[in-house]
């Protein structure tokens, strides 16, 4: 990470446009693409047909734009440059250097934190739901619950998801497996006066069976499950005992801590 | 949108802190403050524009109020509105007075603080004073007040209209005045009696001139607020530090009452209106497609955690997006409300979004298969099938066998055939000899449960009270 610092200051004098771009409000999800990457034509293969005034746009991004033109034209080229930057960004962030830069931002939680209570503010990564431009806005991926969330801010919600792509966030964890957060069975169980609500509890039980099956499969294949407590599912067996009555509310309204234990997770983060 | 979200974390905390203290300061917005300093206020008449006719100045003819029709003894109120009633009574006319006293809200409290200092009473400590100034909603314009039928805000409605308090329902006075509803709260809140008075905008009786009348009141008041008040009622010179304690106690007490209120018939009804109006926001999960959420607590004990949002589409809980909610105690909503809401209003079609909810989208007649006491279509509509995220790299699925492979899909999964969740039916099928208890199944509304495939439904939505009774009984 140290050398990133170095390279950034090296390229200071050439990164005027990129500096401006990544520091603009709403562009917090983008990292700065290296000069080297931008000047290697190979990396840009095929993008010339995606963007209007491709060459001018690229010149603008690399701070060599010197066309004398009117404001409308300038604005059009500016718009193209932003789009081109996004498209290159999607490719850049899956390179070693790009991943490292995004990792830095991830560690600082520049992409926000998972809103799910039981993810305990785990940092998010930006992702696209498609690699095709102009289709779907950017979403945020939480590696802890492995789910996808909408950005809180409308500024971010308007960014094209293709600027991050469908693979980046998954590659990140393949390349840096140590980043994988521990998984837990901790979850919310709806209750009424301490009783689990039957409809939800039945689903929770069904899901727990799915989880148990998965953990069994992984054990068989000797693959690390990533769960903090490999035996976590065993604790839940108590829970399954006397559910054969069909009340809407079930179980006993027991003490919270105990209650929580039988659902295999700590429902109350404070306890 | 959230103006604070772009801030770095530490700054954000500051903002949140500020909004909390804003909350702290509010309690006095409507007048408790006047009352406290009434002696002082009289001394400074004429100083502030508003104090010319301080609400506490003795009026010759105080009218007793027994507005709820319960046997609660008369309580005198100090909200300007009530004051007005009194004044009106004094003048023998129903006509509303124009408004010196009431326009006074903010200015006269400033004046009375000033007077406090003059009289050598401890004045409010600067932070509190500042906070209070910040929290005061601008006093209603005299003009507006005299034209609108205009009751100035009660403590409750001003509490609920504070920034960050958008999720709160306005607890009805009736609910609060029923001692049964407050059972056990007395021991949980410091200066309970004073806090309760503040919430209800009740004036602690303290003026000599009122003694006669008070005695009458005392005779009638055998329970509740009045009884508790009896001991100290003449001791009105509360010191400022008490006031801030009372203010925060009032918020705590209101929150705890609120936890109970929103599980009552009237309260849950009010919350359903707020739900339809979208006051509680939407699920941040992408596959839930803006499903409406409900405010819940993860604990019923105050001080443990802040309010969360429960999404009926994915049955999960989320941190509210705006940091201003991250200072609201989750216990003020409690663990029961979210699930009780779904049991109480089974007819809401949880697959509908946005404007359709506003239009009151209900489960359509042909989708009314029951499953485990809910309509099957309302069972976690945001889960299962294509609503599970499946990671891919360059188009290829990441295998479960990979170290970074999916491990949490079970959390967002749901059986393709939802009737798989009908455990009793499955049990019956797998154990044909066992007793078929289908007919014994009742949901809390007392309505027979229609099995997923067989039988047609009857009846409307379940009654919230029935659920409550059910739960409460079993808890005893
Ligand atoms: Zn998460
Ligand atoms: Zn959801």
Query: What token pair was written down for B26?
Result: 């509010």
Q: What is the pLDDT of residue B28?
A: 32
Sorted by sequence, the CB contacts under 8 Å of residue B428 that are 6+ apart come out as B434, B436, B437, B438
Does residue A195 sit within a domain? yes
d(CA B325, CA B335): 17
Write out chain B in H/E/C secondary structure: CCCCCCCCHHHHHHHHHHHHHHHHHHHHHHCHHHHHCHHHHHHCCCCCHHHHHCCCCCCCCCCCCCCCCCCCCCCCECCHHHHHHHHHHHHCCCCCCCCHHHHCHHHHHHHHHHHHHHCCCCCCCHHHHHHHHHHCCCCCCHHHHHHCCCCCCCHHHHHHCCCCCCCCCCCCHHHHHCHHHHCCCHHHCCCHHHHHHHHHCECCCCCHHHHHHHHHHHHHCCCHHHHHHHHHCCCCCCCHHHHHHHHHHHHHHHHHHHHHHCCCHHHHHHHHHHHHCCCCCECCEHHHCCCECEEECCCCCCCCCECEEEECCCCEEECCCCHHHHHCEHHHCCCCHHHHHHHHCCCECCCCCCHHHHCCCECCHHHCCEECCEEHHHCCCCCCHHHCCCCEECCEECCCCCCCCCCCHHHHCCCCCHHHHCHHHHHHHHCCCCCCCHHHCECCCCCECCCCCCCCCCCCCCCHHHHHHHHHHHHC
- Nearest Cα residue to A263 out of A198, A186, A210, A206: A186
The b/e string for B91-125 (b: 16+ C-beta within 10 A; e otherwise) is eeeeebbebebbbbbbbbbbbbbbbbeeeebebbe
Task: Work out whether the CA dihedral A80, A86, A90, A91 comes out positive or negative.
Answer: positive
Interface probe for B, chosen from A120, A146, A204, A253 (most Cβ of B below 10 Å), is A146
d(CA B107, CA B142): 13
Within 8 A of A141 by CB-CB distance, chain B residues are: 389
Q: What is the pLDDT of residue B353?
A: 73
Does residue B196 surpass a pLDDT of 60?
yes
Q: What is the pLDDT of residues B262-286, one digit of tens each?
A: 999 999 999 999 999 999 999 999 9
Q: How far is CA B358 from CA A150, B156, B165, B221, in A?
A: 22, 26, 21, 45
Q: Give me the percent of chain B exceeding a pLDDT of 70.
A: 50
Write out A169-192 in H/E/C secondary structure: HHHHHHHCHHHCCCECCCCCCCEE
- Overall average pLDDT of the B353-371 stretch: 71
Residue B290 gets the label, from left (phi > 0), alpha (psi -120 to 50) or beta, of left
Cβ contact B392–A221 (<8 Å): no
More confident residue, B58 or A220: A220
Q: Are A149 and A139 in contact (CB under 8 A)?
A: yes
- Residue whose pair of structure tokens reads 């809910």 in the numeric block: B374
A71 in the same domain as A26: yes
Q: What is the pLDDT of residues B223-239, one digit of tens each?
A: 444 444 444 444 445 56
Within 8 A of B289 by CB-CB distance, chain A residues are: none
Within 8 A of A132 by CB-CB distance, chain B residues are: none
Measure B409 CA to nearest chain A CA, in Å. Answer: 7
Of the residues A48, A66, A92, which one is the last residue of a structural domain?
A: A92
CA of B310 to the centre of ligand 2 (A): 8
- Overall average pLDDT of the B155-169 stretch: 95
Residue ranges of A 172-191 with Cβ closer than 8 A to chain B: 173-174, 177, 180, 183, 187-188, 190-191
Does residue A179 surpass a pLDDT of 90?
yes
Give the best-scoring range by mean pLDDT among B73-77, B202-206, B209-213, B398-402: B398-402
Does residue B14 surpass a pLDDT of 90?
no
A126 in the same domain as A197: no
A80 in the same domain as A11: yes
More confident residue, A255 or B169: B169
Task: Work out whether the CA dihedral B165, B169, B170, B176 comes out positive or negative.
Answer: negative
More confident residue, B71 or B259: B259
d(CA B407, CA B384): 15
Q: Does A145 touch chain B (CB under 8 A)?
A: yes
Does residue A99 sit within a domain? no
Does residue A141 sit within a domain? yes
Q: Are B384 and B413 in contact (CB under 8 A)?
A: yes
A164 in the same domain as A216: no
Continuous H helices in A28-180: 35-39, 54-61, 71-92, 96-107, 154-157, 168-175
Q: What is the pLDDT of residue B368?
A: 73
Residue B59 gets the label, from left (phi > 0), alpha (psi -120 to 50) or beta, of beta
Does residue A102 sit within a domain? no
Q: Give me the percent of chain B exceeding a pLDDT of 90.
A: 38
Measure A220 CA to nearest chain B CA, in Å. Answer: 11
Q: Say how many domains are in chain A.
A: 3
Range from B7-16, B161-170, B438-447 carrying the lowest mean pLDDT: B7-16
| Per-chain mean pLDDT for chain B | 65
Q: Does A148 touch chain B (CB under 8 A)?
A: yes
Cα R_g (chain B), whole angstroms: 27
A88 in the same domain as A10: yes
pLDDT interval class at B142 (50, 70, 90): very low
d(CA A139, CA A129): 7
More confident residue, B26 or B323: B323
Domain that holds residue A255: 191-269
pLDDT interval class at B357 (50, 70, 90): low
pLDDT interval class at A82 (50, 70, 90): very high
Cβ contact A153–B1 (<8 Å): yes
Which CATH number characterizes residue A153's domain? 2.20.25.20
Of the residues A152, A179, A206, which one is the last residue of a structural domain?
A: A179
A123 in the same domain as A82: no
Query: What token pair was written down for B389?
Result: 């995220």
Does residue A186 sit within a domain? no
Comparing CB atoms, the residue among A109, A197, A203 nearest residue B343 is A197
pLDDT interval class at B26 (50, 70, 90): very low
Within 8 A of B393 by CB-CB distance, chain A residues are: 167, 170-171, 174
Determine the residue of chain A that is closest to B344 in CA distance: A192
A77 in the same domain as A137: no
Within 8 A of B373 by CB-CB distance, chain A residues are: 197-199, 248
- Nearest Cα residue to A191 out of A253, A141, A262: A253
> DSSP state, A44?
G
- Overall average pLDDT of the A25-43 stretch: 95
Q: What angle do CA B417, B421, B425 make, to 5 degrees?
A: 105
Q: What is the pLDDT of residue B122?
A: 35
Q: How far is CA A184 from CA A143, B108, B467, in A?
A: 12, 56, 32
Q: What is the pLDDT of residue B20?
A: 34
Q: What is the pLDDT of residue B354?
A: 65
Strands A249-250 and A195-197: antiparallel
- Overall average pLDDT of the A53-75 stretch: 92
A135 in the same domain as A201: no
A212 in the same domain as A171: no
Strand order in the sheet with A191-192: A191-192, A195-197, A249-250
Q: Are B90 and B109 in contact (CB under 8 A)?
A: no
Q: Are B311 and B285 in contact (CB under 8 A)?
A: yes
Name the phi and psi angles at A43, rounded to 5.
-65, -20
CA of B381 to the centre of ligand 2 (A): 9
pLDDT interval class at B460 (50, 70, 90): very low
- Overall average pLDDT of the B325-351 stretch: 93
pTM here is 0.68
Task: Work out whether the CA dihedral B76, B78, B84, B90 comes out positive or negative.
Answer: positive
Q: What is the pLDDT of residue A66?
A: 85
More confident residue, A171 or A259: A171
- Overall average pLDDT of the B389-414 stretch: 94
Sorted by sequence, the CB contacts under 8 Å of residue A237 that are 6+ apart come out as none
Does residue A97 sit within a domain? no
Measure B25 CA to nearest chain A CA, in Å. Answer: 27
Q: How far is CA B330 from CA A50, A268, B59, B199, B326, in A?
A: 50, 11, 43, 20, 9
Does residue B113 surpass a pLDDT of 50?
no
Interface probe for A, chosen from B313, B389, B398, B416 (most Cβ of A below 10 Å), is B389
d(CA B232, CA A170): 67
Cβ contact B379–A199 (<8 Å): yes
pLDDT interval class at B27 (50, 70, 90): very low
Which CATH number characterizes residue A77's domain? 1.10.1820.10
A76 in the same domain as A53: yes
Interface probe for B, chosen from A90, A117, A210 (most Cβ of B below 10 Å), is A117
Does residue A201 surpass a pLDDT of 70?
yes
Within 8 A of B316 by CB-CB distance, chain A residues are: 116-118, 187-188
Of the residues A33, A65, A92, which one is the last residue of a structural domain?
A: A92
- Overall average pLDDT of the B172-180 stretch: 94
Does residue B376 surpass a pLDDT of 50?
yes
Query: What token pair was written down for B397?
Result: 């699925």
pLDDT interval class at B244 (50, 70, 90): confident
pLDDT interval class at A69 (50, 70, 90): confident
A227 in the same domain as A250: yes
Does residue A201 sit within a domain? yes
d(CA B419, CA A39): 59
A73 in the same domain as A9: yes
Cβ contact B408–A199 (<8 Å): no
d(CA A115, CA A121): 7
pLDDT interval class at B24 (50, 70, 90): very low
Query: What token pair was written down for A175?
Result: 């390349």
Q: What is the pLDDT of residue B227?
A: 44
Does residue A145 sit within a domain? yes
Does residue B222 surpass a pLDDT of 80?
no
Q: What is the pLDDT of residue B217?
A: 44
Does residue B315 surpass a pLDDT of 70?
yes
Within 8 A of B363 by CB-CB distance, chain A residues are: none
d(CA B156, CA B168): 10
């Amino acid at each position: 990470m140290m050398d990133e610092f170095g390279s950034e200051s090296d390229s200071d004098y050439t990164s005027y446009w990129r500096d401006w771009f990544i520091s603009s409000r709403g562009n917090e999800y983008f990292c700065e693409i290296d000069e080297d990457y931008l000047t290697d034509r190979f990396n840009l293969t095929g993008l010339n047909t995606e963007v209007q005034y491709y060459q001018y746009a690229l010149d603008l991004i690399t701070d060599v734009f010197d066309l004398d033109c009117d404001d409308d034209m300038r604005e059009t080229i500016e718009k193209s440059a932003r789009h081109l930057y996004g498209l290159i960004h999607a490719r850049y962030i899956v390179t070693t250097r790009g991943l490292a830069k995004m990792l830095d931002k991830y560690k600082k939680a520049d992409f926000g934190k998972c809103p799910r209570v039981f993810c305990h503010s785990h940092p998010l990564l930006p992702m696209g739901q498609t690699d095709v431009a102009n289709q779907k806005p950017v979403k945020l991926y939480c590696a802890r619950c492995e789910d996808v969330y909408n950005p809180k801010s409308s500024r971010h919600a308007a960014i094209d998801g293709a600027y991050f792509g469908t693979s980046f966030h998954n590659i990140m964890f393949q390349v840096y497996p140590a980043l994988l957060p521990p998984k837990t069975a901790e979850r919310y169980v709806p209750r009424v006066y301490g009783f689990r609500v039957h409809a939800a509890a039945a689903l929770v039980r069904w899901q727990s069976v799915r989880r148990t099956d998965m953990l069994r499969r992984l054990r068989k294949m000797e693959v690390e499950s990533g769960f903090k407590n490999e035996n976590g599912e065993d604790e839940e067996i108590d829970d399954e005992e006397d559910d054969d009555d069909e009340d809407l509310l079930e179980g006993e309204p027991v003490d919270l801590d105990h209650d929580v234990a039988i659902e295999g997770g700590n429902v109350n983060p404070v306890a | 949108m959230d103006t604070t979200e772009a801030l770095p974390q530490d700054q954000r905390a500051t903002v949140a802190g500020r909004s909390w203290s804003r909350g702290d300061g509010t309690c006095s917005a409507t007048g408790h403050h006047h009352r406290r300093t009434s002696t002082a206020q009289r001394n400074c008449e004429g100083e502030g524009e508003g104090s010319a006719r301080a609400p506490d100045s003795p009026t010759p003819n105080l009218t007793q109020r027994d507005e709820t029709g319960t046997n609660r003894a008369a309580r005198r109120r100090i909200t300007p509105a009530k004051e007005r009633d009194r004044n009106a009574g004094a003048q023998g006319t129903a006509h509303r007075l124009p408004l010196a006293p009431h326009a006074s809200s903010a200015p006269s409290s400033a004046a009375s603080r000033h007077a406090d200092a003059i009289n050598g009473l401890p004045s409010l400590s600067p932070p509190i004073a500042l906070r209070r100034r910040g929290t005061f909603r601008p006093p209603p314009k005299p003009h507006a007040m005299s034209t609108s039928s205009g009751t100035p805000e009660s403590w409750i409605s001003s509490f609920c209209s504070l920034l960050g308090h958008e999720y709160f329902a306005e607890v009805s006075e009736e609910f609060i005045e029923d001692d049964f509803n407050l059972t056990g709260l007395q021991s949980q809140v410091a200066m309970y009696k004073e806090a309760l008075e503040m919430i209800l905008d009740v004036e602690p009786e303290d003026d000599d001139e009122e003694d006669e009348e008070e005695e009458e009141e005392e005779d009638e008041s055998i329970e509740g607020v009045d009884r508790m008040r009896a001991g100290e009622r003449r001791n009105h010179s509360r010191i400022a530090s008490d006031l801030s304690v009372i203010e925060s106690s009032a918020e705590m007490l209101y929150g705890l009452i609120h936890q109970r209120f929103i599980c009552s018939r009237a309260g849950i009804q009010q919350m359903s209106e707020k739900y339809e109006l979208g006051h509680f926001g939407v699920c941040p999960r992408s596959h839930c497609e803006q499903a409406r959420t409900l405010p819940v607590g993860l604990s019923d004990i105050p001080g443990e955690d802040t309010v969360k949002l429960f999404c009926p589409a994915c049955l999960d809980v989320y941190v509210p997006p705006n940091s201003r909610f991250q200072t609201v105690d989750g216990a003020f909503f409690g663990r029961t409300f979210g699930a009780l809401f779904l049991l109480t209003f089974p007819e809401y079609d949880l697959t509908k979004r946005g404007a359709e909810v506003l239009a009151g989208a209900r489960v359509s007649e042909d989708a009314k298969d029951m499953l485990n006491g809910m309509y099957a279509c309302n069972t976690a509509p945001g889960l299962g099938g294509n609503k599970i995220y499946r990671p891919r790299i360059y188009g290829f699925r990441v295998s479960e066998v990979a170290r970074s492979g999916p491990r949490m899909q079970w959390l967002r999964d749901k059986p393709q055939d939802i009737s798989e969740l009908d455990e009793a039916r499955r049990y019956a099928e797998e154990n044909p000899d066992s007793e078929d208890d289908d007919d014994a199944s009742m949901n809390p509304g007392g309505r027979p449960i229609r099995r997923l495939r067989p039988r047609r439904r009857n009846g409307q939505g379940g009654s919230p009270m029935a659920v409550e009774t059910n739960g409460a009984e079993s808890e005893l």
